[in-house]
Amino acid sequence: MEKNAKIYVAGHRGMVGGALVRRLQQASYQNIVTRTSKELDLRNKEAVDAFFAEEKPEYVFLAAAKVGGILANNTYRADFLLDNLQIQNNVIQASFDQDVKKLLFLGSSCIYPKMAPQPIKEEYLLTGPLEATNEPYALAKIAGLKLCEAFRDQHGSNYISAMPTNLYGPGDNYDLQNSHVLPALLRKFHEAKENNALEVEVWGTGTPRREFLHVDDLADACLHLMLHYNGKEPVNVGTGEDLTIRELVELVRDTVGYEGNIRFDTDKPDGTPRKLLDVSKLADAGWKYKISLPEGIREVYKEAFQSAPVA
Ligand SMILES: NC(=O)C1=CN([C@@H]2O[C@H](COP(=O)(O)OP(=O)(O)OC[C@H]3O[C@@H](n4cnc5c(N)ncnc54)[C@H](OP(=O)(O)O)[C@@H]3O)[C@@H](O)[C@H]2O)C=CC1
Ligand SMILES: C[C@H]1O[C@H](OP(=O)(O)OP(=O)(O)OC[C@H]2O[C@@H](n3cnc4c(=O)[nH]c(N)nc43)[C@H](O)[C@@H]2O)[C@@H](O)[C@@H](O)C1=O
């Protein structure tokens, strides 16, 4: 990828898209094209086709998507399936029509079967039923990675797919209903400490296990894959380490310095019991994460809550 190549980052205002733009600029890629969803609704095929015909990007990072935590996925089931199918179908088709040299599609670790053997290898895809709470989203992501594979099979398109584990970092979503667990816990414990609340309520039983990767590490992995990976199979991107939600709750509580009680609301869903990724493929390609979870949580907490109020 030449330093003056025209690179389209779809979803640049999001947590992942923002990290991708930072990483590309840090690596001296200056010809980066972006559009907000107000400027370009990627569900609108005509608008997407017109944008690609006008801009003719050479490389595409497809980080735009409808994204949310377990409750959002389980509430807006049709939106998560339809929006994500429309976005990825339009961007991948337009990329082919305009001869994009290489496209990287972002999937998610939730594409794998609920009870897949752990750690999860890429070849476990479609070997068992999905987790019910995010099945619509997972099916959209599976369709996206399969569309990339199909364009490669039929047309020789160099479209690759990365399957990230749970992510956190600057620009995360802190809405208490729709966000993922880590940003939600940071906000809950911060506000409880500020308000001297006696108790913090967290969801589920605390027994599921999750793996967390800082979004700056993900962006670095995506650039590494764009530069060096030309394979058909999706590539897992993670740390290869996980912890229980209860351990995460205690880590966030201690980072924030909250000393009150914690109550687990078992009426809320646990979701997948565990989704630890096997990251040996990425390790074989020479990449490993850098930011440890405790360090990452400290940094994110400082940046999001101790320097300015959360929007
Ligand atoms: N967060 C996580 O834990 C994980 C995320 N991923 C994947 O990473 C990618 C990015 O996720 P993340 O950064 O967390 O999500 P965010 O919600 O932070 O960002 C999503 C972005 O997509 C854009 N977008 C959404 N709908 C549309 C639309 N109709 N038209 C144009 N743009 C749209 C938004 O643009 P705007 O701001 O302009 O409205 C936003 O910038 C997704 O593919 C997600 O599946 C994978 C695994 C874990
Ligand atoms: C990245 C991945 O993210 C999603 O899957 P998920 O990892 O299950 O999502 P989550 O981060 O929201 O929850 C993780 C665990 O944490 C528990 N939990 C406790 N307390 C809170 C809490 O306050 N908020 C949330 N959201 N969860 C909480 C919660 O009960 C669950 O056991 C997919 O939908 C899909 O988007 C996807 O691919």
Return the ∠ at Cα 180 (arms to 242 and 287), rounded to 5°.
45
Residues 227-283 have pLDDT tens digits of 999 999 999 999 999 999 999 999 999 999 999 999 999 999 999 999 999 999 999
Residues 59-70 have pLDDT tens digits of 999 999 999 999
Residue 129 has pLDDT above 90, yes or no: yes
Ligand 2 in reach of 70 Cβ (< 6 A): yes
Ligand 1 in reach of 89 Cβ (< 6 A): no
Q: Which of 203, 236, 243, 249 to mutate to test the pocket of ligand 2 (most atoms within 8 A of CB)?
A: 203
In this prediction, residues 194-216 reach a mean pLDDT of 98
pTM value is 0.97
Tokens 């565990």 found at: 274
In this prediction, residues 66-95 reach a mean pLDDT of 98
Task: With CA atoms as reference, report the closest residue to 207 among 246, 181, 241.
Answer: 246
Ligand nearest to C-alpha 245? 2
Tokens 């990828």 found at: 1
Q: Does residue 114 have a known ligand-binding role?
A: no
Q: Which of 66, 77, 179, 181 to mutate to test the pocket of ligand 2 (most atoms within 8 A of CB)?
A: 181
Give the active site residues: 137
Give nearest CA residue, ligand 2 atom 31.
270
Dihedral through CA 263, CA 267, CA 269, CA 270, nearest 10? 40
Q: Does residue 165 have a known ligand-binding role?
A: yes
Distance from residue 62's CA to the centre of ligand 1 (Å):
9
Q: How confident is the model at residue 123 (pLDDT cuts 50, 70, 90)?
A: very high
Ligand nearest to C-alpha 187? 2
Ligand 2 in reach of 245 Cβ (< 6 A): yes
Q: Does residue 270 have a known ligand-binding role?
A: yes
Between the alpha carbon of residue 294 and those of residues 92, 202, 255, 288, 300, the distances in Å are 37, 19, 8, 17, 10
In this prediction, residues 14-38 reach a mean pLDDT of 98
Using the 8-state DSSP alphabet, how is residue 120 labeled?
B
Distance from residue 91's CA to the centre of ligand 2 (Å):
27
Between the alpha carbon of residue 143 and those of residues 111, 122, 178, 209, the distances in Å are 10, 15, 23, 26
Q: Does residue 217 have a known ligand-binding role?
A: no
Give nearest CA residue, ligand 1 atom 34.
11
In this prediction, residues 28-46 reach a mean pLDDT of 98
Structure tokens at 212: 């967390």
**Residue 68 alpha carbon, nearest atom of ligand 2:** 36
